[in-house]
Structure 1
Amino acid sequence: MSNDRVRVRGLSIYRPIIYGNTAVVLSPEERAALPSAQADHTHRWTVAVRSAASAPGSNTVGGADDISYFIKRVTFKLHETYPNPTRVVDKPPFEVTETGWGEFEIQIRINFVAEAGEKQYLLYHHLKLHPWTAVGSGEPEIPPPDVAAKSGPVHSWQYDEVVFNDPFQSFLNILMAHPPTPLPKVKTRPVPFNIAHPESIKDAKSGGTPEFTQAMITEEAERLEKARKDVIAEQDKWRGILIEKERELERLRKQLEG
C-alpha cells in the first residue's frame, strides 16, 4: 500500500468555514421585473458555504480562500415550493441565489474530495430575510419593505471548524499546501449576530458587512466553556439533592420497618 493512503494516526487538522445567508429587499423595479409566478417575492438572498476569513476590502462575508481543494460538492436543499429544490454546486463559489418571501430551513450537505476519504458533512441553516430584532424591543419581526430596505442587507452566518481526524497522508499533504487565511485578531467591522451573544445585536443593526475575528471565536469558546462548567455544577447540585433524598427515604423505610 502506498504511504499516501496510510492514515496519520493521532493527528487532527481542521479548516474554518462559515455557512449562512445574506438577504436584501427587492426594489419596486426588481419586483415588477419578476415572472408572474414570483410576483409575491420580496427579497433576494444568497445561501453559501465559504472560507471563514474575508478578503480585504470585500463586501462579501468570508470567502477569502478557495475551499475547493478539500470540498468537492455542496448540495443545498431548499423549500419544496422552489423549482428543482435540491441544488447541487460542484465548483466554487459554493452558493445559491434566489428570490422569495418566506424564511425556512435549508439543509446543506458537504461532500469532500476523494483524497479525504471522509463521509459527507451535514449542516442546517435557517434562512434569514428580516432584520434582527432584540427580544422585548417592541420592533416588528417583519417590518414593511421600505423600512427593511433602509436597514441594508441582512446577514446570518455561522462559524464552524471542519475537523479531519487521522487524515490520509495524501490528503494531509493537500491541506498543508493550502493553509487558511488567518482571521483578523481584532474587530475592524461589525461582528455577525450570534443569538448566544445578545450584545452582538448592536453590530447587526449598525449596518455594514460583518466579519469573523479571532477575538470573536475565542470569546465564543469561552462562553461555551462557561456553559459547560455551569451544566456540570448544576448536575452536581441535583445529584447531591438526589443522594440526600435517597438517604432520607432509607431512614423513613427503616423507621417503618422498626
Structure 2
Amino acid sequence: MLTSKQKKQKLPPAVIESPPFEVTETGWGEFEILIKLSFADSQEKPLPLFHQLQLYPKDKDPDPDAEYAKLPITSEHYEEIVFNEPHEEFIEPLRRYRAQVLANPGKSVSSTFTPQLEASETKRLYAINDKVLADIEKWKSKLAAAEHTKKRLENDIRSLEAEAV
C-alpha cells in the first residue's frame, strides 16, 4: 500500500498485490511516501518503509517547465529488509526463499544496482562535495576581503574624525 504524506494531495492509497510492483503517476516535485509491506499467511505485522519519491531527474534542477520534465522518470532505490525476530512459521519460508527476477517486458530500466553504478554515484557525490568545498573557500575569501575593507574604512573614519577635532 502506498500512501502520500503530502497533506495537499488527497489520493486514495494504491494497493498492489502482484508483480510488477509499480505505480505510475504524473506530477512534479519530491516527497516522502509510506509503503506498507504485508506478508500473506503470516502473523508478521505490516512493515512500513518510507521512500523519497522524486518526480524529476536526479541530475537536473527541479524545473517543471524544462523539456526533460515531459519525459518519463525512472527512480530506483535499493531497499533491504531484515527480519530481526520473525514468527516461527515465517522463518522456514524465509530460509527457503530464493530471489526471483521479475520479467519486465517492453520496459528498459535505465539503471541497475551494480558496482559500476555505485562507483558512478560515489564519483558524483565526491564531485558535488568538491564543488561545495570550493564554494565555501570562495565565500571565505570574499568574507575576508570584505572584513579587510571594513577595517580599512573604520581606520579611515577614525583618522578623519581625529583630523576634524
TM-score (normalizing by structure 1): 0.35
Aligned to 2:50: 124
Structure 2 unpaired stretches of 5+: 102-108, 120-165
Aligned to 1:4: none
Trace 1:180-195 onto structure 2 (pairs within 5 A): 180-181=99-100
Aligned to 1:110: 37
Q: Which residue identity does 2:84 align to in structure 1?
A: N
The 8 Å contact of residues 76 and 88 in structure 1, kept in 2 or not, is answered as yes
Aligned to 2:152: none
Q: Distance in 2 between matches of 1:110 and 1:154?
A: 24
Structure 1 unpaired stretches of 5+: 1-74, 134-138, 183-207, 220-258
**Number of equivalences:** 112
The 8 Å contact of residues 128 and 155 in structure 1, kept in 2 or not, is answered as no
Higher relative CO (Cα under 8 Å, sequence separation at least 6) belongs to 1
Q: Distance in 2 between matches of 1:179 and 1:77?
A: 29
| CA displacement at 1:86 relative to structure 2 | 2.3
1:113-143 CA-to-partner distances (Å, cap 9, x unmatched) read 233x32222222222122223xxxxx64326
Trace 1:42-53 onto structure 2 (pairs within 5 A): none
The alpha-carbon distance between structure 1 residues 103 and 165, as it changes in their structure 2 partners (threshold 3 A), is: closer
Alignment partner of 1:87 is 2:6 = no
The alpha-carbon distance between structure 1 residues 101 and 218, as it changes in their structure 2 partners (threshold 3 A), is: closer
Q: Which residue identity does 1:210 align to in structure 2?
A: S
| CA displacement at 1:173 relative to structure 2 | 2.8
Trace 1:1-258 onto structure 2 (pairs within 5 A): 75-78=1-4, 79-115=6-42, 117-133=43-59, 140-142=61-63, 144-149=65-70, 153-181=72-100, 209-213=110-114, 215=115
| CA displacement at 1:216 relative to structure 2 | 6.8
The alpha-carbon distance between structure 1 residues 218 and 84, as it changes in their structure 2 partners (threshold 3 A), is: closer
The alpha-carbon distance between structure 1 residues 217 and 168, as it changes in their structure 2 partners (threshold 3 A), is: farther
Q: Which residue identity does 1:105 align to in structure 2?
A: E
The structure where helix makes up a greater share of residues is 2
Q: CA RMSD for the aligned pairs?
A: 3.4
Return the index of the structure with the highest Cα Rg.
2
| CA displacement at 1:210 relative to structure 2 | 0.4
The 8 Å contact of residues 108 and 124 in structure 1, kept in 2 or not, is answered as yes
Q: Which residue identity does 1:209 align to in structure 2?
A: S
Aligned to 2:133: none
| CA displacement at 1:104 relative to structure 2 | 2.2
1:68-88 CA-to-partner distances (Å, cap 9, x unmatched) read xxxxxxx11124444543223
The structure where strand makes up a greater share of residues is 1
Q: Which residue identity does 1:179 align to in structure 2?
A: R
The alpha-carbon distance between structure 1 residues 143 and 98, as it changes in their structure 2 partners (threshold 3 A), is: closer
Instruction: Give aligned-pair identity as a percent.
Output: 36
